Amino acid sequence: MAASPGPAGVGGAGAVYGSGPLGFALDSGLEIKRSVEQTLLPLVSQITTLINHKDNTKKSDKTLQAIQRVGQAVNLAVGRFVKVGEAIANENWDLKEEINIACIEAKQAGETIAALTDITNLNHLESDGQITIFTDKTGVIKAARLLLSSVTKVLLLADRVVIKQIITSRNKRLTIYNLRHS
């Protein structure tokens, strides 16, 4: 596989690093993109479900509970994700600030989605058994965009950590190889 030249001779997207007797191919651009996309698919699916619920203002109790469960599920998943991101940040001081900022944004977005889908404060039961609410769909969309953006940042930064670890490991292996064969 040929490497794509980047600025000033540095490998760009699709660059292959570390091919040699002890090296291995690392397609930095394509693999990171796939990793981020695969990780985000379940989150995108849940958010799409939230946003695409019917726009009518009268919703059955069952529908409202389903919307609330999805909002809570998104928030819980984000909470677990943030804990992992914070652990990665604590082990990687050079990226700690960037990861922590992205984690804070993700946490705020998850909490906003949960709050906007919370039905516990609704007491507007109509005579037909339906609850009339005016959901803040724009707020959910804004929070979802922030969430996807911040989660993507954390994933990309985590991938940078992994790439750095792979390169460090490869360099150690090359040093040992060169010492044995010189």
Q: What's the confidence (pLDDT) of residue 18?
A: 39
Q: What's the confidence (pLDDT) of residue 8?
A: 35
Containing H/E element for 131?
A: strand 131-132
Cα dihedral 116→120→124→125 (10° resolution): 120
Q: What's the confidence (pLDDT) of residue 140?
A: 83
d(CA 86, CA 97): 10
Per-residue pLDDT of the chain (182 residues; tens, 9 = 90+): 333 333 333 333 333 333 333 344 445 455 555 666 677 777 777 777 767 765 555 667 787 788 888 889 999 999 999 999 999 999 999 999 999 999 999 999 999 999 988 877 655 545 555 544 445 678 888 898 899 999 999 999 998 998 888 999 999 998 998 888 87
Q: What's the confidence (pLDDT) of residue 132?
A: 44
Q: What's the confidence (pLDDT) of residue 64?
A: 79
d(CA 178, CA 164): 21
d(CA 41, CA 127): 40
Pick the CATH number of 62-123+134-181 from 3.90.700.10, 3.40.140.10, 1.20.120.230, 1.10.10.10: 1.20.120.230
Cα dihedral 81→104→120→124 (10° resolution): -120
DSSP state of 3: P
The reply to whether the predicted model has a pTM over 0.75 is: no
Q: What's the confidence (pLDDT) of residue 5?
A: 37
49's tokens? 């479900």
Q: What's the confidence (pLDDT) of residue 181?
A: 87
Q: Domain residue spans in the chain? A: 62-123+134-181
